[in-house]
Structure 1
Amino acid sequence: MSTPRPVWALGAALGEGPVWVEQGAALWFVDIKAPAIHRFTPGTGEQRTWAAPAQVGWVLPAEGGGMVAGMQTGVHRFDPATGAFSLIAAPEAHLPGNRLNDATVASDGAIWFGSMDDSEQSDTGRIYRLDADGAVDTGLPPVSVTNGPAFSLDGRTLYHHDTLGQTIWASTVEDGRVTDTRLFAAIEEGAGYPDGPVVDAEGCLWVSLFRGWGVRRYDPAGRLMATVPFPVANITKIAFGGPDLATAYATTAAKGLSAAELAAQPLAGALFAFDAGVAGPPGFLARV
């Protein structure tokens, strides 16, 4: 593994949701609190930004082109050519204090995503599954701040976080149904809060740590294998990218840092890259 290095020092308030998009060979991510969608193209160094009309938690590539974005107002199609957003589904229109927070695409093209209480106080965050037929609550217990989900390589295990509870959970998935939820790992007090998870090509789970100064790698049994230290406190999620999917990109956040902490962490909110020593699996395109 290599030391994380900044590749775009944009100072994001709450950088999140990195995803490698093969078409265009670019790393897409968001700043939830700006709010904005960003694209970084390593081959050319291009940095592109689109303003979002509401807090945006994630952006994912869609089958047939374009992107899908999860915002406080619901799931939207996003057209980078025009910057336009169009609503697909609003599963929590009745919860204006919630927002969408993290997501992944399953092998069948369905988007699995979570919500959270924007004030981080009430247990109103849930995990949903969205396909062409609409969004469905998976029935997992609500928490204040969800993160993930992420799938195992065979698609049968769903990893999801109770971030404020400092716990990582695993559930069995079969035919779109979630069962057998069990504790996968717990983050010890003082080590930060589990943020976005992602699985690598060897089936191990990478967990970013908000207020934890690093990223951890766990084996499929929940045993800690490695930790990658960062020069900033708030790491939110990683994604594997590059031509061989062997470069890990990490989003970070300046949110919640005091003036003194910001002065000591001038790279807070930057997009980082590092060699993880392992590649990631190819991603899937959303079919919604």
Structure 2
Amino acid sequence: MNDGAVDPTGRFWAGSMAYDGTPGAGSLYRVDPDGTVVTALTGVTVANGPAFSPDGRRLYLADSARGVISAYPLDPRTGALGAPQPLIRLDGGSPDGMTVDDEGFVWTAVWGESRVLRVSPYGEVDRVVHLPCRQPSSVAIGGEDGTRLLVTSARYGLADPTPADGALWTCDAGVSAPPARAALLTRYPA
């Protein structure tokens, strides 16, 4: 299993990948409030994110191995996904963990590229945050003032990690984001 997140209606979504990175072996799963587990998407190589638009009508999912973030229409009532549209394809690095701010912009850590991108709902890069670590892994926005960008990083696979690799980084995002949500499970799966 890989990244997971809760949508605005309380459903938990989590992606998977093959440990050896087999192309297309990953999936995206959804856990509904009644505990039902649904395979929402197959054919992903490395599922990262997911993240949701503030209105809950769009799901963003990165396929890190393919270097692309896609936007899926999401029915908030049923949890059904529509046909994906590519949001952005990266020329270098891999999109990794994501969040969406209150203005509807997607923030993504770019593994292997020492940066975080803020991307508009139309796929335009709005902001680049450069970091001293080589493998930013995920992002969140919060903190005391609600506008701190928090970035995790990893040392995994680095032959010569530095103190910057594997550290937590923060800076001012200049925008707030919806708070993290708890899953609204009415029954827990056995």
Do Structure 1 and Structure 2 share a fold, with TM-score over 0.5?
yes
Instruction: Tell me the residue number matched to 1:286.
Output: 183
The answer to whether the 8 A contact 2:108-2:117 is kept is: yes
Instruction: Tell me the residue number matched to 1:119.
Output: 20
Deviation at 1:194, TM superposition (A): 0.5
Instruction: Tell me the residue number matched to 1:215.
Output: 116
Instruction: Tell me the residue number matched to 2:188.
Output: none
The answer to whether the 8 A contact 2:65-2:94 is kept is: yes
1:183 and 2:86 correspond: yes
In the alignment, the residues of structure 2 paired with residue 177 and residue 236 of structure 1 have an alpha-carbon distance, to the nearest angstrom, of 28
The answer to whether the 8 A contact 2:98-2:140 is kept is: no
**Per residue, is there more strand in 1 or in 2?**
1
The answer to whether the 8 A contact 2:9-2:56 is kept is: no
Deviations 1:187-208 (A, max 9, x none): 01xx211101110111100011
| Aligned pairs for 1:149-188 within 5 A | 149-174=50-75, 175-188=78-91
The answer to whether the 8 A contact 1:245-1:281 is kept is: no
- Residue type at the aligned position of 1:134: T
Deviations 1:255-281 (A, max 9, x none): 12113xx2xx32210111111111112
The answer to whether the 8 A contact 1:196-1:207 is kept is: yes
In the alignment, the residues of structure 2 paired with residue 247 and residue 275 of structure 1 have an alpha-carbon distance, to the nearest angstrom, of 5
Instruction: Tell me the residue number matched to 1:270.
Output: 167
Deviations 1:7-60 (A, max 9, x none): xxxxxxxxxxxxxxxxxxxxxxxxxxxxxxxxxxxxxxxxxxxxxxxxxxxxxx
Q: Unpaired segments of 5 or more residues in structure 2?
A: 186-190
Quote the sequence identity (%): 36
Say which of 156, 160, 170 aligns to 1:255. 156
The answer to whether the 8 A contact 1:239-1:249 is kept is: yes
In the alignment, the residues of structure 2 paired with residue 283 and residue 195 of structure 1 have an alpha-carbon distance, to the nearest angstrom, of 18
DSSP 3-state at the match of 2:140: strand
Deviation at 1:141, TM superposition (A): 3.6
TM-score for both structures, normalised by structure 2: 0.91
In the alignment, the residues of structure 2 paired with residue 121 and residue 179 of structure 1 have an alpha-carbon distance, to the nearest angstrom, of 25
Deviation at 1:122, TM superposition (A): 3.9
Instruction: Tell me the residue number matched to 1:142.
Output: 43
In the alignment, the residues of structure 2 paired with residue 243 and residue 231 of structure 1 have an alpha-carbon distance, to the nearest angstrom, of 24
The answer to whether the 8 A contact 2:8-2:55 is kept is: no
DSSP 3-state at the match of 1:203: coil
Deviation at 1:162, TM superposition (A): 1.1
In the alignment, the residues of structure 1 paired with residue 62 and residue 29 of structure 2 have an alpha-carbon distance, to the nearest angstrom, of 14
Deviation at 1:252, TM superposition (A): 0.4
In the alignment, the residues of structure 1 paired with residue 144 and residue 168 of structure 2 have an alpha-carbon distance, to the nearest angstrom, of 18
TM-score for both structures, normalised by structure 1: 0.61
In the alignment, the residues of structure 1 paired with residue 24 and residue 121 of structure 2 have an alpha-carbon distance, to the nearest angstrom, of 28
The answer to whether the 8 A contact 2:25-2:42 is kept is: no
In the alignment, the residues of structure 1 paired with residue 141 and residue 87 of structure 2 have an alpha-carbon distance, to the nearest angstrom, of 22
How many residues were matched structurally?
A: 182
In the alignment, the residues of structure 2 paired with residue 283 and residue 270 of structure 1 have an alpha-carbon distance, to the nearest angstrom, of 21
DSSP 3-state at the match of 1:147: strand
Of structures 1 and 2, the one with the larger relative CO (CA 8 A, separation 6+) is 1
Deviations 1:75-111 (A, max 9, x none): xxxxxxxxxxxxxxxxxxxxxxxxx110111122110
Deviation at 1:217, TM superposition (A): 0.4
Q: Unpaired segments of 5 or more residues in structure 1?
A: 1-99
